[in-house]
């Protein structure tokens, strides 16, 4: 466990803006704060805010609030401790652990990740050099040439070749880039495996590690990079029809590396590292299915293309893309195979994109070949024309359905067929987070299925999930502050005066009293992290404090004069309230309806004199 004091020092020493900008490079400066589109919900107007001087991250749209540790924890989907350690590594901050032994273990874990990335990056270079220079790779080179690849493209994507047999296992000790690693590390990196031995006795379990073999053999190697340019795994395509006796009968044409400490195929897109700058510049991204599609399209001039790694497009993939572009304000294209699996992939990918605020469109090739073959056969301009002729997801799915049924017109569909399609589309519409996009898709469904739009909207209401969004300006320009709230604003933005303020001044305002009490307690304990206060507040107090934090108004008078005026007004209001409480009692006393109470009478008389004469400053003592 990490010492709390160490976490406190870490948070005080880091620049939270630098960390958030790593995930949201489109942050825009506004006053003291920064704004971007929220990564946790879909929106058109940036309402996700960062207040660096207060250490607060808050979304005025969905209500998400966090300090920097919780933010990293949520956006990376990691534990609290892992988030702390990740931030500490970025700033070279040495954490202190309650258990020194645990500190050693966690350091070893981080070191292991670095070692695996170094190994995989080195191995990619080794495979690449074999492809370019060795005779054993001649067939692989010929294959790549036959697929239209140029040498500069091969170098750009670091394409390599893994020879037949156990190249790594037999030679790693003699290769300068690999000789400092051991077989256990190669195994953890997912590039070698061990044969299972039948009838292995539990007492002899270590014997299974005596028969290592290469994971990739006789395959063209496609290194898979993370956004930092480090290799995290490989994909491999079998060359020719060679099958060693050691191979299983069913050898896949393409093979991805196994999941590992540094590789999760559900969150990595092939080609993203090479094309990220083009995606940012063009605000456009094209999803395809294969390595060769990405590589050849890039080579021929369409440079914003990426591919999932043998899996459907996931929420994690889109979150990675959000680091590069605004999904709701960018062009997103799907160029998948027109077969049944490809159509299913279009529907699944569309649901994910719609849910994240995007509007996916489908590029349909006019010939049943892969995109890489198409662009080499017909040229880049013809493919660009097809991209410009993209269709909506609804139109694509309807046309594909009609083609498969060999029907020319949607009017020829039976009622049941229309109902089945409508059900599929309404399920898709349920995932659409942007109201305008949802409305347009409903129109498209009605037009394409030739169903009255009112009927479609009526059916859609059964699936509708109400979503509420708040406009940041309406929050920041909310009702005027009361005097107590105004004084609390000063305490938040000028914390050095907190100890001079008596908490009883807020006694008539429940939210202000709760906030100030926690502010004063933290300030007395030398705790400057206001995010700790927010976590403990009730919802109404939390909303008030966030409004105060992000309000950057200026004080036009001196601070001392402003506080004095607020004190005077707060006490005037307090005594006015008390005057109204006492007046009916005094009337009853004068009319002999109740017994005379000299204490109440004297209090009322004093309050009346104060309100008449304006002697308010005496109550500042």
CB 276 within 8 A of CB 250: no
Q: Which of 216, 231, 263 is the last residue of a domain?
A: 263
Residue 572 CA to chain centroid, in angstroms? 50
In a domain, residue 620? The reply is no
Q: Is the pLDDT at 614 greater than 70, yes or no?
A: no
Pair (75, 118) in one structural domain = no
Pair (138, 226) in one structural domain = yes
Report H helices in 27-99.
68-76, 80-90
Pair (244, 270) in one structural domain = no
* pLDDT, tens digit (0-9, with 9 covering 90-100), for 218-271: 999 999 999 888 999 999 999 975 544 444 456 888 999 999 989 988 889 999
* 6 class by beta-carbon count within 10 Å (0-12 exposed, 13-18 middle, 19+ buried): middle
Pair (255, 290) in one structural domain = no
254's tokens: 């393409």
Q: How far apart are CA 200 and CA 178, in angstroms?
A: 31
CB 91 within 8 A of CB 16: no
Least confident of 191-205, 208-222, 255-269, 473-487: 191-205
Sequence-distant (6+) residues with CB within 8 A of 580 are: none
Pair (253, 122) in one structural domain = yes
Sequence-distant (6+) residues with CB within 8 A of 126 are: 160, 175, 177, 178
Q: Is the pLDDT at 118 greater than 90, yes or no?
A: yes
Pair (189, 42) in one structural domain = no
Strand partners, 286: 305, 333
In a domain, residue 619? The reply is no
CB 570 within 8 A of CB 616: no
Pair (109, 228) in one structural domain = yes
Q: Which of 436, 467, 498 is the last residue of a domain?
A: 467
* Angle subtended at Cα 349 by Cα 346 and Cα 350, rounded to the nearest 5 degrees: 80
Q: Is the pLDDT at 616 greater than 60, yes or no?
A: no
pLDDT at 270: 97
* pLDDT, tens digit (0-9, with 9 covering 90-100), for 146-194: 999 999 999 999 999 999 999 999 999 999 999 999 998 999 999 999 8
Q: Is the pLDDT at 33 greater than 60, yes or no?
A: yes
- Give the residue with greater pLDDT, 77 vs 526: 77
Mean pLDDT of the chain: 85
In a domain, residue 618? The reply is no
Residue 82 CA to chain centroid, in angstroms? 17
User: Directed axis angle between helix 4-13 and helix 80-90, to 10°?
Assistant: 50
Q: How far apart are CA 410 and CA 402, in angstroms?
A: 7
Domain tally, the chain: 5
| pTM for the structure as a whole | 0.60
The 8-class DSSP code of residue 96 comes to: -
* 265 class by beta-carbon count within 10 Å (0-12 exposed, 13-18 middle, 19+ buried): buried
Domain containing 545 — which CATH number? 1.10.860
Q: Which of 467, 498, 517 is the last residue of a domain?
A: 467
Pair (235, 110) in one structural domain = yes
In a domain, residue 304? The reply is yes
In a domain, residue 78? The reply is yes
CB 515 within 8 A of CB 488: yes
Pair (79, 121) in one structural domain = no
Report H helices in 30-157.
68-76, 80-90, 100-133, 138-146, 151-156
CB 57 within 8 A of CB 66: yes
Backbone angles phi, psi at 93, to 5 degrees: -95, 130
Q: Whole domain around residue 582: which residue ranges?
A: 474-613
Q: Is the pLDDT at 451 greater than 60, yes or no?
A: yes
Mean pLDDT along residues 433-443: 89
Q: For the chain, how long is the longest CA-to-CA vector?
A: 117
The 8-class DSSP code of residue 57 comes to: E
Domain containing 231 — which CATH number? 3.90.980.10
Mean pLDDT along residues 64-80: 86
In a domain, residue 554? The reply is yes
Pair (325, 394) in one structural domain = no
Question: Which helix H or strand E contains 611, and what residues bound it?
Answer: helix 598-613
Sign of CA dihedral 267, 270, 275, 279: negative
553's tokens: 């108004």
In a domain, residue 453? The reply is yes
* pLDDT, tens digit (0-9, with 9 covering 90-100), for 488-514: 888 888 888 888 888 888 887 888 888
Q: How far apart are CA 192 and CA 172, in angstroms?
A: 11
Pair (165, 219) in one structural domain = yes
Pair (409, 286) in one structural domain = no
Q: How far apart are CA 575 and CA 570, in angstroms?
A: 9
In a domain, residue 621? The reply is no
pLDDT at 548: 85
* 524 class by beta-carbon count within 10 Å (0-12 exposed, 13-18 middle, 19+ buried): exposed
Name the 3-class secondary structure at 77.
coil
- Give the residue with greater pLDDT, 533 vs 129: 129
Domain containing 15 — which CATH number? 3.90.580.10
């Amino acid at each position: 466990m990490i010492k709390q004091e160490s976490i406190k020092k870490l948070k005080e020493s880091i620049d939270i803006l630098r960390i958030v900008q790593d995930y949201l490079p489109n942050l825009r400066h506004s006053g003291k704060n920064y704004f971007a589109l929220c990564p946790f919900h879909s929106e058109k107007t940036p309402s996700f805010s960062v207040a660096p001087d207060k250490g607060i991250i808050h979304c005025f749209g969905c209500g998400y609030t966090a300090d920097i540790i919780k933010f990293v924890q949520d956006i990376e989907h990691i534990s609290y401790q892992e988030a702390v350690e990740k931030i500490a590594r970025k700033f070279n901050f040495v954490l202190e652990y309650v258990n020194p032994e645990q500190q050693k273990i966690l350091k070893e874990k981080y070191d292991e990740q670095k070692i695996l990335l170094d190994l995989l990056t080195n191995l990619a270079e080794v495979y690449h050099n074999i492809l370019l220079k060795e005779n054993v790779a001649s067939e692989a080179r010929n294959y790549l040439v036959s697929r239209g690849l140029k040498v500069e493209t091969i170098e750009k994507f670091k394409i390599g070749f893994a020879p037949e047999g156990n190249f790594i296992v037999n030679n790693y000790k003699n290769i300068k880039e690999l000789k400092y690693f051991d077989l256990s590390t190669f195994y953890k990196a997912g590039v070698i495996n061990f044969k299972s031995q039948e009838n292995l006795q539990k007492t002899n379990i270590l014997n299974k590690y005596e028969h290592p073999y290469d994971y990739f053999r006789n395959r063209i190697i496609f290194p898979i990079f993370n956004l930092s340019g480090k290799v995290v795994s490989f994909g491999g395509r079998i060359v020719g029809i060679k099958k060693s006796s050691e191979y299983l009968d069913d050898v896949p044409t393409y093979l991805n590396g196994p999941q590992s400490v540094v590789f999760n195929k559900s969150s990595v897109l092939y080609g993203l590292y090479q094309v990220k700058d083009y995606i940012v510049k063009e605000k456009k991204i094209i999803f395809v299915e294969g390595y060769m599609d990405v590589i050849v399209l890039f080579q021929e001039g369409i440079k914003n293309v990426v591919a999932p790694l043998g899996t459907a497009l996931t929420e994690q993939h889109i979150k990675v893309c959000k680091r590069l572009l605004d999904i709701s304000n960018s062009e997103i294209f799907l160029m998948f195979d027109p077969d049944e699996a490809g159509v299913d992939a279009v529907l699944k990918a569309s649901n994910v994109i719609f849910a994240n605020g995007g509007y996916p469109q489908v590029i349909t090739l006019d010939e049943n070949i892969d995109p890489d073959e198409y662009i080499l056969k017909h040229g880049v301009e013809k493919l660009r024309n097809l991209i410009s002729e993209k269709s909506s997801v609804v139109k694509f799915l309807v046309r594909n359905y009609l083609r498969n049924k060999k029907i020319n017109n949607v009017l020829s569909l039976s009622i049941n067929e229309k109902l089945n399609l409508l059900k599929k589309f309404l399920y898709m519409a349920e995932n659409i987070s942007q109201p305008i996009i949802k409305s347009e898709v409903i129109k498209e469904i009605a037009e394409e299925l030739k169903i009255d739009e009112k009927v479609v909207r009526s059916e859609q209401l059964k699936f509708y999930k109400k979503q509420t969004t708040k406009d940041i300006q309406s929050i920041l320009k909310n009702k005027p502050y009361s005097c107590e709230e105004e004084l609390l604003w000063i305490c938040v933005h000028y914390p050095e005066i907190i100890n001079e303020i008596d908490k009883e001044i807020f006694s008539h305002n429940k939210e202000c009293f709760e906030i100030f009490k926690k502010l004063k307690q933290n300030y007395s304990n030398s705790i400057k992290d206001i995010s700790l206060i927010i976590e403990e507040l009730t919802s109404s107090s939390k909303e008030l404090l966030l409004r105060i934090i992000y309000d950057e108004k200026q004080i036009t008078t001196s601070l001392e004069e402003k506080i004095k005026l607020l004190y005077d007004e707060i006490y005037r209001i307090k005594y006015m309230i008390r005057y109204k409480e006492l007046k009916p009692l005094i009337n009853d006393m004068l009319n002999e309806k109740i017994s005379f109470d000299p204490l109440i009478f004297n209090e009322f008389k004093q309050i009346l004199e104060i309100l008449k004469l304006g002697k308010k400053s005496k109550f500042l003592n």
